Amino acid sequence: MTYCAIDFGTSNSAVALPHGNGMRLAPVEGDHLTLPTAIFFNSDEQTLEYGRAALASYIDGFDGRLMRSMKSILGSPLAETTTDLGDGSAIAYTEIIARFLRHLKQKAETCAGAPIGRAVLGRPVFFVDDDPRADRLAEQQLEAAARAVGLADVHFQYEPIAAAFDYESRQTDERLVLVADIGGGTSDFSLVRVGPARMQRLERKDDVLAHHGVHVAGTDYDRRVELAAILPAFGYRSLDPEGRELPNRIYFDLATWHLINTVYTPKRLGELKLMRHLYRDARHFERLVRVVERRLGHALAARAEEAKIGVAAGGETMIDLNDVEEDLQIAFDANLLIDASRDDTARIVEAARETVRLAGVAPRDVGALYFTGGSTGLAFLSGALAAAFADAQPVFGDRLASVATGLGIHAQRLFG
């Protein structure tokens, strides 16, 4: 019987296991060390799929129910209810979370070659803002799900503290660290106190001086890329013969991941075909109809994300839309991304500033700015945050694994 640390994340999850004198991340999907937090009840194939496989089946148009970001329902009234799986059956939301945790645990046990009975789980500073009762309930629900899959000894650690553990282990004196965890759906900031004298303390709640966040992050940048660079080639923001902007709902839905499949219904396609006369450029209309008829909306979203990643460090790229129309390519660069997402970046930076204000600390007293989460790879975004705290040392952790690695450090202190 061994132990593990589980980062059950909103967008991605990971598991750390003992390895020699330290900890390592377990492969949880093929060779991947992280697993998208997604589960798909495939009613066509009568299968249950996780992670990348779940997303692929959903994108391919199989009937069923996709669940993402399950963590966000903990502590809410929704968590104690059931959801329809689309085949006439229903399942409790908490059972869906348990199934996902069981899948992670089984992958980790395969890697460890031993059963796992003890675990450290990460938790946000607040599952639910401004509601202590709901916050306690959320932790209890997550603990119950963990125990239901065979984890008899469950402990929790705050995710921003865990993210800073690796940095803390290299410090010789006490410092204030602003942890910037910018993922796919949210940008979360925590001001934490770290130092060698605090490192062995198992209870670290008092070291979190303030926490704040906004629901603006990586998927919002993807959406900006698609609207600003890709969809104009399909008529977005074009004018009709009377000089009015074309109806934009279909474009907004195509640029919003969880709404893309709604565009493919016969009703929506029929409505679109009645709009042919509004398009001055027939190519725009033909491309748009082709996307809907061939169900290429998720492919466009993927091209937007790839373009964002391609220019993340300040470069330029070509967006290849050959699956829509032969030789259709669109040039894209970092400056276009910066301009398109200026408001989102400003909101994220303001959230960081508000975190420090909530702690009653001056920006100059922040000793380090610790970046984690997939979207901190956007150079202009991390640069804007660094400029807001010019006296702080920028430190980059593993974008997808810092929290899991830190939880592993805590698990080793508890169980090792």
As a whole number of angstroms, the distance between CA 290 and CA 135 comes to: 46
Average pLDDT over residues 337-353: 96
Q: Is the pLDDT of residue 347 over 80?
A: yes
pLDDT exceeds cutoff 80 at 143: yes
Say if residue 244 is exposed, middle or buried (CB neighbours under 10 Å; 0-12, 13-18, 19+).
exposed
> Contact at 8 Å (CB) between 144 and 156?
no
Q: Is the pLDDT of residue 351 over 90?
A: yes
pLDDT of residue 383: 96
CA distance 341 to 308: 11
pLDDT value of residue 361? 96
167-190, pLDDT tens digit by residue?
888 888 999 999 999 988 888 899
Within 10 Å of residue 49's Cβ, how many Cβ atoms? 21
Average pLDDT, the chain: 93
Mean pLDDT of 34-62: 92
User: 96-132, pLDDT tens digit by residue?
Assistant: 999 999 999 999 999 999 999 999 999 988 888 788 9
Measured in whole angstroms, how far is the alpha carbon of residue 386 from the centre of its chain? 22
**316: pLDDT confidence band, cut at 50, 70 and 90?**
very high
- Tell me which H or E stretch contains 126: none
Q: What pairing do the DSSP bridges indicate for beta strands 368-372 and 175-182?
A: parallel
User: With 80 as the cut, is the pLDDT of residue 87 above it?
Assistant: no
Torsion sign across C-alpha atoms 173, 364, 212, 350: negative
Continuous segment of H or E residues that includes residue 388: helix 379-388
For CATH 3.30.420.40, list the domain ranges present in the chain.
2-151, 173-397
pLDDT of residue 170: 84
pLDDT at 415: 94
Res 91: pLDDT? 92
173-397, CATH topology level: Nucleotidyltransferase; domain 5 (3.30.420)
Pairing outcome for strands 64-68 and 12-19? unpaired
Indicate the residue type of 414: L
**Beta-carbon count within 10 A of 84 CB:** 11
Tell me the one-letter amino acid at 345: T
pLDDT computed for residue 284 by the predictor: 98
Q: Left if phi > 0, otherwise alpha if psi is -120 to 50, otherwise beta: which for 69?
A: left
- Is the separation of the CB atoms in 338 and 383 below 8 Å? no
Tell me what pLDDT residue 374 has: 86
Pick the closest to residue 183 from 7, 337, 31, 353 (CA basis): 7
Digit-coded pLDDT (tens) for 76-85:
888 889 988 8
Confidence of residue 60 (pLDDT cuts 50, 70, 90): confident
Looking at the DSSP assignment, which residues form a beta bridge with residue 175?
Answer: 194
Query: Is the CATH code 3.30.420.40 the one for domain 2-151?
Result: yes
What pLDDT is stored for residue 416 in this prediction? 87
pLDDT digits (tens, 9 = 90+) for 269-297: 999 999 999 999 999 999 999 999 999 99
